[in-house]
């Protein structure tokens, strides 16, 4: 006799309630393959946990963003935000598509140079630039985005000593109706500090002012803020032209476009509420095009968007280690990927999905990582189907920040693979080993 | 006259001390002399009182919260539609409006008609945009500042006199008499509803409300003004009375005309001692006290259904002044089977 | 393991505990097993029935059964023994 399909026996308490904000089960989505490669095959071949990037998704997302902005504005240039993901293979795809590099440290600067990016195509941001770093940037003719007056005066001094010109822009912070307002970086627009900095730069013989830069915040859900920033920059540009007869070459509106991830505490899923590239592009281009800047002097629009270009292209494959019940009867599962690999789990409710059809019986579940630490919680509450040990799960939208902010803790960081356009998987960062971890350690003889 | 038979789906059957408008909307629809309404109750939870009220719903189905994704919610409604053929759907929760507005077309293509404000109308009335709204449409609103951080609270002191109102983007409001209370309220609101926290000038006066219906082309189909006579701890009216206030009606008509508001709405206003009206909030749906309007001569739920069906509806101008509503609570005795059925089968 | 008398089990998988007023839902196999427990079948009998009928191996079922019975106990649907009475 053919045996019937088995399902684990389950009893769950019916909570009596009037409407609250927590959800009822809906049909469980499955991620069985990534770019046509079965998840199980990837995990068998490269181990678990495993970061997987899709070159196809990266290129498609980039081209969609680029085309969208170009339909609204004539001159657009993307600069890949290294801090979002600086794996060589990932940066190379963006550079191949035509992206410049946006770096915030000398490490990133050197990495960009080593990948063949021309120094003049590097935007050098951030509050941390030493005299030595600045000299490197000047020698490579990079665009230096000045963050504060101390840096400005240091540059004046260095360029005089070197008797060399530096190409500079200033970082500006402004009120774009975005909360919280990021006023810790750059010079303030509203109180006139930015205008003072511009005036000082114009007096310096060896500084060539070529652009304006701002970054209004992170994970900005309102396209309107970018429009406000673009309007304020247009006024600055017109002011600079009036006083110094100079049209700046570019304005850089930074990044901060939201990805489709769902922020903790948000009511609706991010995939439904996050503005589209079209929304951002319209808001920005309308503001610049309707300003007093003559058409022939329109600045190049630089965008340093990172998260929105790479988050969707990254997945983490992980395996179920254990099913448990807490003392309150709550279901918990333990997986082999912890918060040390998933920095973004601190602010997102990451999507976790099974890789094969399983029971549609859902239960409110807590998902723990494998670290021997209480804070290691990937999801504190998720409706999740029953899974067995060894089942592969897929965590989606983890392409941004995780592989730069990850921590090595108690074990080796895993393999990272890239699925190329032909559907072939390549290791782009190898799993750590005792040797690679120890290479810089020294144990004094006693 | 032969009544037209229609099937109406309604959410918000939570007639609790913080009631949803579902039950009064159904009562209004059932009072219609032109429509014979078959009612499909859509519920999120198994203890919504509407599930247990006799002769209210013909069928009841459980639906998933929009927070688990609009797609799932819409698919469930479509699945119910296949079985029950829904003609008109009236959503009654603020939290679900976004999803139904977003999928309005898709539902309409399947034959499920709604009568909702546009996404733009919905968004421009949000609380942190009230000053812009007031300016754009020429209504008085209390002065306000959006706070992105606590230290901005110091600026507030130089701009407003105490008391001030501290409000969350979506919900919650606290009246504060000094900086300590304001700091406390700021933290409370920010942790629950995020930033910005809205600081509003306190306008003293009487709180009055209007329930209204706009046809989407600028015409006010119905409008009834009311004053809350008793307000519960949760800020909900426990009793109210209709007013003869031409100024409030005029304000409503002008606002609906300028915004071309589509669908039901509730205006929350403060009437000052000098008879000025300040708009403090616009709820983008029918309020829970709508049956007062029905009872005083303007059947707003019926009119909304007819608009959704594309029928002509003449503006209603008359209503009885001095009609009151008094809410009450009532213990229904029900059987466990009904609870079991909605909990296990997700339908009754 | 014994299901308390006051527990009412319906054929649609609805369980009502008249002692506490709480209700529960079961999946079909959970319903099947709880009925066997209520009819005083012991673990070996239940295991045999399930293994004969369903496509599952011995150890997996034992593990699931253990979790299921722990939940029955947790929800106070069964006779409670002193857990520190190490017999």
pLDDT tens-digit series, residues A181-202: 778 889 999 999 999 999 999 9
Q: Does B131 touch chain A (CB under 8 A)?
A: no
In a domain, A6, yes or no: no
Suggest the residue from C1, C15, C24, C29 to mutate for an interface test with chain A (most A CBs closer than 10 A). Answer: C29
How far, in Å, CA of C12 to CA of B260, rounded? 50
Asked whether residue A215 falls in the same domain as residue A106, the answer is yes
Q: Which residues of B touch C14 (CB under 8 A)?
A: 340, 343-344
In a domain, C28, yes or no: yes
In a domain, A323, yes or no: yes
pLDDT in tens, C16-53: 999 888 899 898 999 999 999 999 898 999 999 999 99
Split into its structural domains, chain C has a count of 1
Give percent helix, percent strand, percent coil of chain B, each to the nearest 5: 35, 25, 40
Q: Does B344 touch chain C (CB under 8 A)?
A: yes
Task: Compute the radius of gyration of chain C from its Cα atoms.
Answer: 13
pTM reported for the whole predicted model: 0.81
Q: Which residues of B touch C9 (CB under 8 A)?
A: none
In a domain, A285, yes or no: yes
Q: Which tokens go with B57?
A: 């719903």
Kindly determine whether residue A6 and residue C75, on different chains, have CB atoms separated by under 8 Å: no
In a domain, C1, yes or no: no
Pick from B310, B270, C26, B170: which is nearest to A265 by CA? B170
Asked whether residue A269 falls in the same domain as residue A137, the answer is yes
Asked whether residue A346 falls in the same domain as residue A270, the answer is no
Of C55, C60, C75, the CB nearest to A11: C75
Asked whether residue A409 falls in the same domain as residue A333, the answer is yes
**Domains of chain B in sequence order:** 4-115+331-344 (3.40.50.20), 143-201 (3.30.1490.20)
| Residue C56 exposed, middle or buried by CB count within 10 Å (0-12, 13-18, 19+) | buried
Q: Does B21 touch chain A (CB under 8 A)?
A: no
Of C15, C29, C65, the CB nearest to A7: C29
State the pLDDT confidence band at A22, using cuts at 50, 70 and 90.
very low
Contact A84, A310 (CB under 8 A): yes
The domain that holds A364 is classified in CATH as 2.40.37.10
Q: Which residues of C touch B344 (CB under 8 A)?
A: 12-14, 25
Domain span at residue C37 reads: 7-74
pLDDT in tens, B249-306: 999 999 999 999 999 999 999 999 888 999 999 999 999 999 999 999 999 999 999 9
Kindly determine whether residue C10 and residue B340, on different chains, have CB atoms separated by under 8 Å: yes
Q: Does C22 touch chain A (CB under 8 A)?
A: yes
Kindly determine whether residue C74 and residue A8, on different chains, have CB atoms separated by under 8 Å: no
State the pLDDT confidence band at A329, using cuts at 50, 70 and 90.
confident
Q: Does B102 touch chain A (CB under 8 A)?
A: yes
Q: Does C13 touch chain B (CB under 8 A)?
A: yes
pLDDT of residue A21: 33
Task: Compute the radius of gyration of chain B from its Cα atoms.
Answer: 21
Kindly determine whether residue A265 and residue B45, on different chains, have CB atoms separated by under 8 Å: no
Whether B221 has a pLDDT exceeding 60, the answer reads: yes
Asked whether residue A339 falls in the same domain as residue A191, the answer is no
Whether A27 has a pLDDT exceeding 70, the answer reads: no
Of A4, A9, A14, the CB nearest to C23: A14
How far, in Å, CA of C58 to CA of C46, rounded? 11
In a domain, A154, yes or no: yes
Place of tokens 């293994």: C51
Asked whether residue A72 falls in the same domain as residue A43, the answer is no
Contact A412, A432 (CB under 8 A): yes
Mean pLDDT across chain A? 91
Q: Which tokens go with C27?
A: 């999946």
pLDDT of residue A135: 96
Kindly determine whether residue C68 and residue A3, on different chains, have CB atoms separated by under 8 Å: no
pLDDT of residue A334: 97
- State which of A283, A311, A339 marks the end of a domain: A311
Q: What is the ipTM of this complex?
A: 0.90
State the pLDDT confidence band at A24, using cuts at 50, 70 and 90.
very low
Whether A23 has a pLDDT exceeding 60, the answer reads: no
Chains in contact with B, counting 3 or more C-beta pairs less than 8 Å apart as contact: A, C
Whether A348 has a pLDDT exceeding 80, the answer reads: yes
Residue C14 contacts by C-beta under 8 Å, 6 or more apart in sequence? B340, B343, B344, C23, C24, C25, C26
The domain that holds A129 is classified in CATH as 3.20.20.10
Pick from A404, A399, A326, A313: which is nearest to A367 by CA? A326
In a domain, C32, yes or no: yes
**SS3 assignment for A16-32:** CCCCCCCCCCCCCCCCC
In a domain, A378, yes or no: yes
pLDDT in tens, A30-61: 999 999 999 999 999 999 999 999 999 999 99
Suggest the residue from B47, B335, B340, B342 to mutate for an interface test with chain C (most C CBs closer than 10 A). Answer: B340
Domain span at residue A425 reads: 33-53+314-433
Q: Which residues of A touch C50 (CB under 8 A)?
A: 6
Asked whether residue A229 falls in the same domain as residue A355, the answer is no
| Residue B78 exposed, middle or buried by CB count within 10 Å (0-12, 13-18, 19+) | middle
C84: closest CA of chain B, how far (Å): 36
Cis amide bond preceding B171, omega within 30: no
What is the count of residue pairs from A and B with beta carbons less than 8 Å apart?
A: 81
Asked whether residue A306 falls in the same domain as residue A318, the answer is no
Share of chain B above pLDDT 90, in %: 58
Kindly determine whether residue B344 and residue C16, on different chains, have CB atoms separated by under 8 Å: no
pLDDT of residue A19: 58
Asked whether residue A273 falls in the same domain as residue A367, the answer is no
Average pLDDT over residues B192-196: 77
Asked whether residue A86 falls in the same domain as residue A48, the answer is no
C19 secondary structure, DSSP code: T
State the pLDDT confidence band at A20, using cuts at 50, 70 and 90.
very low
Mean pLDDT across chain B? 90
Place of tokens 């990937």: A378
pLDDT in tens, A226-285: 999 999 999 999 999 999 999 999 999 988 887 788 877 766 777 777 788 898 899 999
Split into its structural domains, chain A has a count of 2
Asked whether residue A163 falls in the same domain as residue A70, the answer is yes
Of A14, A23, A180, the CB nearest to B195: A180
| Residue B56 exposed, middle or buried by CB count within 10 Å (0-12, 13-18, 19+) | buried
What is the count of residue pairs from B and C with beta carbons less than 8 Å apart?
A: 17
Average pLDDT over residues A328-338: 92
Contact B227, B240 (CB under 8 A): yes
Average pLDDT over residues B192-213: 88
How far, in Å, CA of B235 to CA of A182, rounded? 36
Residue A404 contacts by C-beta under 8 Å, 6 or more apart in sequence? A83, A84, A85, A86
Asked whether residue A105 falls in the same domain as residue A169, the answer is yes
Q: Does C71 touch chain A (CB under 8 A)?
A: yes
Whether B151 has a pLDDT exceeding 50, the answer reads: yes
Average pLDDT over residues C71-77: 89
């Amino acid at each position: 006799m053919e045996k019937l399909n088995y399902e684990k026996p389950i009893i769950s308490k019916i909570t009596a309630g009037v409407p609250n904000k927590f959800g009822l089960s809906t049909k469980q989505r499955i991620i069985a393959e990534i770019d046509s490669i079965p998840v199980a095959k990837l995990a068998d071949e490269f181990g678990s946990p495993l970061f997987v990037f899709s070159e196809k998704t990266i290129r498609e997302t980039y081209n969609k963003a680029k085309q969208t902005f170009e339909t609204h504005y004539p001159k657009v240039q993307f600069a890949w935000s290294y801090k979002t993901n600086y794996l060589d293979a990932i940066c190379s795809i963006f550079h191949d598509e035509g992206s410049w590099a946006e770096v915030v440290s000398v490490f990133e600067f050197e990495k960009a140079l080593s990948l063949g990016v021309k120094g003049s195509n590097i935007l050098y941001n951030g509050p941390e630039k030493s005299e030595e770093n600045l000299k490197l940037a000047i020698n490579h003719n990079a665009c230096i985005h000045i963050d504060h007056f101390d840096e400005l005066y240091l540059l004046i001094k260095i360029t005089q000593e070197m008797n060399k010109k530096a190409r500079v822009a200033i970082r500006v912070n402004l009120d774009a109706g975005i909360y919280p307002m990021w006023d810790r970086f750059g010079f303030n627009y509203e109180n006139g500090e930015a205008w003072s900095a511009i005036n000082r730069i114009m007096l310096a013989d060896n500084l060539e002012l070529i652009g304006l830069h701002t970054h209004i915040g992170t994970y900005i859900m309102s396209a309107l803020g970018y429009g406000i920033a673009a309007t304020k920059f247009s006024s600055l540009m017109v002011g600079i032209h009036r006083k110094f007869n100079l049209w700046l070459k570019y304005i850089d509106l930074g990044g901060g476009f939201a990805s489709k991830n769902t922020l903790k505490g948000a009511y609706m899923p991010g995939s439904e509420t996050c503005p589209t590239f079209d929304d951002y592009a319209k808001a920005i281009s309308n503001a610049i095009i309707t300003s007093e800047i003559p058409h022939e002097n329109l600045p190049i629009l630089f965008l340093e968007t990172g998260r929105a270009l790479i988050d969707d292209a990254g997945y983490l494959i992980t395996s179920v280690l254990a099913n448990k019940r807490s003392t309150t009867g709550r279901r918990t599962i333990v997986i082999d990927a912890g918060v040390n690999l998933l920095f973004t789990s601190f602010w997102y409710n990451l999507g976790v999905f099974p890789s094969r059809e399983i029971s549609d019986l859902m239960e409110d579940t807590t998902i723990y990582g494998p670290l021997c630490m209480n804070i290691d919680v990937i999801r504190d509450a998720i409706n999740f189907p029953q899974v067995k040990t060894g089942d592969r799960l897929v965590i989606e939208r983890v392409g941004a920040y995780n592989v730069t902010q990850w921590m090595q803790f108690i074990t080796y960081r895993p393999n990272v693979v890239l699925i190329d356009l032909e559907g072939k998987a390549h290791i782009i960062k190898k799993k750590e080993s005792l040797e690679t971890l120890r290479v810089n350690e020294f144990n004094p003889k006693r | 006259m032969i009544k037209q038979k229609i099937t109406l789906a309604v959410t918000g059957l939570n007639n609790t001390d913080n009631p949803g408008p579902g039950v009064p909307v159904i009562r209004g629809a059932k009072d219609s002399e032109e429509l014979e309404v078959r009612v499909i109750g859509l519920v999120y939870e198994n203890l919504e009182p509407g599930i247990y009220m006799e002769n209210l719903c013909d069928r009841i189905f459980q639906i998933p919260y929009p927070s688990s994704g609009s797609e799932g919610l819409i698919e469930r409604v479509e699945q119910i539609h296949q079985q029950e053929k829904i003609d008109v759907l009236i959503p009654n929760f603020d939290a679900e409006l976004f999803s139904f507005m977003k999928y309005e077309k898709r539902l309409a293509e399947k034959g499920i008609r709604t009568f909702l404000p546009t996404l733009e109308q919905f968004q421009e009335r949000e609380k942190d945009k009230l000053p812009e709204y007031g300016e754009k449409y020429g209504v008085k609103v209390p002065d306000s500042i959006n706070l992105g951080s606590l230290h901005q609270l110091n600026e507030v002191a130089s701009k407003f006199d105490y008391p001030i109102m501290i409000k969350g983007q979506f919900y919650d409001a606290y009246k504060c008499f000094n900086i300590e209370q304001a700091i406390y309220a700021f933290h409370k609101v920010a942790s629950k509803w995020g930033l910005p926290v809205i600081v509003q000038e306190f306008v003293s006066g009487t709180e009055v409300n209007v329930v209204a219906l706009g046809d989407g082309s600028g015409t006010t189909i119905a409008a009834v003004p009311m004053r809350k006579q008793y307000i519960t701890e949760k800020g909900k009216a426990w009793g109210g009375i209709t007013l003869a206030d031409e100024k409030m009606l005029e304000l409503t008509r002008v606002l609906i005309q300028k915004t071309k508001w589509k669908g039901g709405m509730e205006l929350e206003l403060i009437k000052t001692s000098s008879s000025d009206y300040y708009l403090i909030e616009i709820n983008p749906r029918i309020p829970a006290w709508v049956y007062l309007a029905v009872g005083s001569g303007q059947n707003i739920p019926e009119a909304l259904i007819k608009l959704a069906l594309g029928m002509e509806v003449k503006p209603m101008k008359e209503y009885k002044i001095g009609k009151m509503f008094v809410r009450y609570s009532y213990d229904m005795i029900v059987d466990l089977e009904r609870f079991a059925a909605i909990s296990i089968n997700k339908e009754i | 393991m014994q299901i308390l008398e006051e527990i009412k089990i319906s054929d649609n998988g609805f369980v009502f505990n008249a002692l506490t007023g709480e209700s529960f839902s079961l999946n079909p196999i959970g319903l099947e097993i709880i009925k066997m427990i209520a009819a005083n079948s012991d673990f070996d009998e239940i295991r045999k029935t399930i293994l004969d009928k369903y496509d599952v191996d011995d150890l997996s079922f034992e593990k699931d059964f253990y979790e299921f019975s722990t939940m029955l106990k947790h929800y106070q649907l069964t006779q409670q023994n002193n857990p520190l009475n190490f017999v």
